[in-house]
């Protein structure tokens, strides 16, 4: 056996914990997204964190926190035994091909069938739908956009909604109307139009203005996740479905964040009366352990793009891989056996009630709170009224959620930013988080709110050296960054 070259890090070093926290931060800054990780490091949020239980993480000083981060992609927490035990059995016993690209595969076959049957329980019109697998949410959207395009090839326009988020590859980015992510990449895929979320009349006028026959698809999140947990008015989703059906426009329900129980239903769009033509799934399908994306498509639309000799028009190498499919199957099984969508709805009501009570008591900190199922949002008041010089002022405006995240971290709860909403922090706890951990998490959120009754406190309680480093970071041009020692 040849020796590893100097500097090559052996797997055993990582597996056996021989990389220190400082080593990890140094390597990440040197070879990864240095600026992002430096920003997190300045805030004390860079980790690395390790798992204590599926629901609790520990930093290198041994401080434990309840994990409500994970951007809805860790439905059963970190390294959930139900999934990891199954993965071990899979590794021991599986004899099916790992990547059955050009052949049938038992795991893919079974997961396709299970997904369609689950969906058809809610939406019988999907009983003969077909599934295309991939390895991320954005890729599931890219597939959906191609299916819609092939279905109505002459249509010039696709419609998505303000504050929506569908991913960052070029197609999905074109329908994610956020200048921060889009501007440098213009021109994007042509024909993307934006309509206000929750406003059916506006969508109707837009479609009328450009001509219904020119609209290929409408892409919609049943609840906007990255937009800050925006719940549309009752009847909106049903109305979108009816309007599009009337004009033969394909509806893509992006359930990547909401689907499979997060919002208390298997498919939030179906629960809200929308029978979409295409449904995208990803995040929780991978059980927090693998990357699985799925695009579920009505049979005629599927066949139009991939029928006959065109069956290779859309493909990928890793989609349908045995390990990913097997974990996807186990995730669905675990969700069903533990009735997690219903549990999510039940605990969600408790959590939201606690947040609403807090918002009523502390309106100078919390402008609004929102939630459905185990998807919670705390929207903070702007940190105004603080006279600050140029770049720091900019930063402070931008940084409300970042500083809130830091303070929550200090209170023992790890939370998420919202990619398309600057003043909103989200909590996405595991759907199977035990009740006592769930209650403690909200006790800690409450303790955090009580010690920060005014949004200004987010800034004043941040140590001046941290604000100064953040300001310097925001103002400076990229350069090599030095990580902290932990
Ligand atoms: C609704 C929605 N669609 C698409 C995506 C993109 O998924 P991914 O990050 O796996 O590409 C996300 C990710 O947050 C999402 O929330």
What CATH code is carried by the domain that includes residue 107? 3.40.640.10
H-type alpha helices, 70-134 = 81-93, 106-122
Query: Residue 137 falls within a domain, yes or no?
Result: yes
29 three-class SS: helix
Say yes or no: 90 and 71 in one domain: no
Query: In terms of domains, do 435 and 347 share one?
Result: yes
What is the pLDDT, as a whole number, of residue 393?
A: 64
Secondary element (H or E) of residue 171: helix 170-174
Residue 486 falls within a domain, yes or no?
no
SS3 56: strand
Asked whether residue 6 is assigned to any structural domain, the reply reads no
CATH number at residue 358: 3.90.1150.10
CA angle, 479 then 480 then 484, to 5°: 125
The answer to whether 158 touches 206, Cβ cutoff 8 Å, is no
Side-chain-side CA neighbours of residue 459 (13 Å): 23
- End-of-domain residue from the set 308, 337, 366: 337
In 3D space, the residue among 67, 92, 71, 93 whose CA is nearest the CA of residue 80 turns out to be: 67
3-state helix, strand, coil in the chain (%, to 5): 45, 15, 40
Looking at the CA of residue 136, tell me the nearest atom of ligand 1: 10
Please tell me the distance between residue 157's alpha carbon and the centre of ligand 1 in angstroms: 22
**Among residues 72, 433, 123, which one has the least CA distance to residue 262?**
72
Do 304 and 176 belong together in one domain? yes
Number of Cβ within 10 Å of residue 250's Cβ equals: 26
Q: Whose CA is nearest to atom 10 of ligand 1?
A: 137
List helix spans (H) across 321-477.
Answer: 322-337, 340-361, 390-398, 400-410, 435-451, 456-460, 464-475
Per the structure block, which two tokens stand in for 41? 């490091």
Range of the domain at 351: 11-79+340-475
Count Cβ atoms within 10 A of the Cβ of residue 187 and give its class: 0-12 exposed, 13-18 middle, 19 or more buried.
exposed
Measured CA to CA in angstroms, residue 193 lies from 33, 188, 196, 217, 341 at distances of 31, 12, 10, 10, 33
Q: 452 C-alpha to center of ligand 1: Å?
A: 31
* Cross-sheet strand order for the sheet of 421-427: 366-372, 375-380, 421-427, 416-418
Q: In whole angstroms, give the CA distance from residue 129 to residue 295.
A: 10
183 CB burial (10 A radius; 0-12, 13-18, 19+): exposed
159 strand-pairing partners: 193, 218
In a domain, 3, yes or no: no
268 & 405 share domain: no
Same domain, 235 and 369: no
Please report the pLDDT score of residue 327 as a whole number. Answer: 98
pLDDT value at position 478? 59
- State the distance from the centre of ligand 1 to the C-alpha of 142, rounded, in angstroms: 11
Q: What is the pLDDT of residue 470?
A: 83
Question: For residue 269, is it within any domain?
Answer: yes
* CA nearest to 152, candidates 222, 208, 205, 212: 212
Q: Are residues 316 and 218 in the same domain?
A: yes
Do 354 and 271 share a domain, yes or no?
no
Strands 366-372 and 375-380: antiparallel
Looking up tokens 């599009």, which residue turns up?
244
Closest alpha carbon to 75 in 453, 411, 330:
330
Same domain flag for 222 and 319: yes
Residue 421 has phi, psi (to 5 degrees) of: -155, 110
Helix (H, G, I), strand (E, B) or coil at 176: coil
Ligand 1 centroid to Cα of residue 186, in Å, is 21
pLDDT of residue 476: 75
Cα of 378 from ligand 1 centre, angstroms: 20
Type and span of the H or E element at 145: helix 137-151
Best probe residue, ligand 1, of 167, 168, 174 (max atoms within 8 Å of C-beta) = 167
Token pair of 312 as six digits: 């290779």
Q: 168 CA to middle of ligand 1, Å?
A: 8
Same domain, 333 and 349: no
Domain ends where: 287, 317, 337? 337
Calculate how far, in angstroms, residue 69's C-alpha sits from the geometric centre of ligand 1.
15
Q: Which atom of ligand 1 is nearest to the CA of 168?
A: 11
Shared domain for 364 and 314, answered yes or no, is no
Residues in the chain, total: 486
CA-nearest residue, atom 8 of ligand 1: 137
* CB 194 within 8 Å of CB 210: no
Residue nearest to ligand 1 atom 16, measured at CA? 257
Distance 435 CA to ligand 1 centre (A): 28
Query: Is 257 within 8 Å of 221 (Cβ atoms)?
Result: yes
Q: Which of 72, 137, 140, 269 gets mutated to test ligand 1 (max ligand atoms within 8 A of its CB)? A: 137
Query: Do 179 and 64 share a structural domain?
Result: no
- What is the number of structural domains in the chain? 2
Residues of the chain short of pLDDT 50, as ranges, are none
Sequential DSSP letters for 299-328: HHHHHHHHSGGGGGSS--SSTT-HHHHHHH
In a domain, 186, yes or no: yes
Has residue 482 been placed in a domain? no
CA distance 87 to 94: 10
Q: What is the pLDDT of residue 93?
A: 98
Q: Which of 277, 305, 337 is the last residue of a domain?
A: 337
pLDDT value, residue 385: 64
- What distance in Å separates the CA atoms of residue 164 and residue 36, rounded to the nearest whole number? 22
Residues 141 and 281 in one domain: yes
- Tell me, yes or no, whether 29 lies in a domain: yes
**Which atom of ligand 1 lies at the shortest distance from residue 283's CA?**
10
Residues with CB under 6 A from ligand 1: 71, 136-138, 141, 165-167, 221, 225-226, 254, 256-257, 282
User: What pTM was estimated for this model as a whole?
Assistant: 0.96
Coil/strand/helix, residue 470: helix
């Amino acid at each position: 056996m040849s020796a590893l070259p100097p500097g090559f890090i052996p797997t055993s070093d990582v597996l056996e914990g021989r990389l220190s926290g400082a080593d990890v931060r140094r390597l990440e800054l040197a070879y990864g997204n240095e600026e992002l990780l430096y920003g997190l490091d300045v805030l004390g949020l860079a980790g690395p964190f390790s798992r204590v239980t599926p629901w609790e993480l520990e930093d290198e000083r041994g401080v434990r926190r309840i994990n409500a981060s994970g951007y809805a992609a860790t439905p059963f927490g970190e390294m959930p035994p139900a999934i990891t035990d199954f993965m071990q059995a899979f590794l021991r016993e599986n004899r099916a091909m790992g990547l059955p690209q050009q052949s049938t595969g038992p795991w893919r076959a079974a997961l396709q069938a299970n997904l369609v049957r689950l969906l058809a329980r809610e939406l019988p019109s999907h009983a003969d739908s077909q599934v295309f697998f991939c390895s991320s949410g954005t890729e599931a959207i890219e597939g959906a956009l191609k299916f819609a395009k092939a279905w109505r090839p002459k249509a010039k326009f696709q419609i998505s909604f303000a504050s929506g988020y569908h991913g960052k590859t070029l197609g999905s980015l074109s329908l994610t109307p956020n200048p921060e992510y889009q501007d440098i990449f213009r021109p994007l895929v042509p024909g993307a139009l934006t309509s206000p979320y929750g406003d059916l009349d506006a969508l109707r006028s837009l479609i009328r203005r450009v001509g219904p026959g020119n609209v290929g698809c409408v892409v919609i999140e049943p609840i906007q996740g990255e937009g800050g947990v925006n719940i549309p008015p009752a009847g909106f989703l049903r109305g979108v479905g009816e309007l599009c059906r009337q004009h033969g426009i394909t509806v893509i329900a992006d359930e990547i964040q909401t689907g499979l129980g997060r919002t208390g239903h298997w498919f939030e769009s179906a629960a809200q009366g929308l029978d979409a033509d295409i449904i995208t799934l990803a995040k929780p399908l991978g059980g927090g352990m693998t990357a699985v994306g799925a695009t579920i498509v009505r049979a005629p639309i599927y066949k139009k793009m991939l029928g006959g000799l065109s069956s290779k028009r859309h493909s990928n190498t890793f989609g349908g891989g045995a390990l990913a499919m097997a974990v996807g199957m186990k995730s669905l099984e675990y969700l069903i056996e533990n009735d997690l969508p219903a549990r999510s709805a039940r605990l969600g009501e408790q959590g939201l009630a606690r947040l609403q009570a807090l918002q009523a008591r502390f309106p100078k900190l919390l402008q609004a709170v929102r939630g459905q199922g185990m998807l919670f949002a705390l929207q903070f008041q702007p940190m105004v009224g603080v006279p600050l010089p140029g770049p720091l002022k900019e930063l402070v405006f931008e940084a409300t959620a970042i500083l809130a995240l830091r303070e929550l971290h200090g209170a023992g709860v790890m939370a998420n930013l919202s990619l398309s909403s600057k003043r909103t922090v989200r909590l996405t706890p595991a759907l199977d988080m035990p009740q006592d951990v769930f209650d403690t998490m909200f006790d800690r959120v409450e303790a955090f709110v009580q010690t920060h009754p005014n949004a200004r406190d987010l800034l004043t309680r941040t140590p001046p050296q941290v604000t100064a480093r953040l300001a310097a970071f925001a103002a400076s041009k990229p350069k090599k960054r030095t990580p902290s020692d932990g």
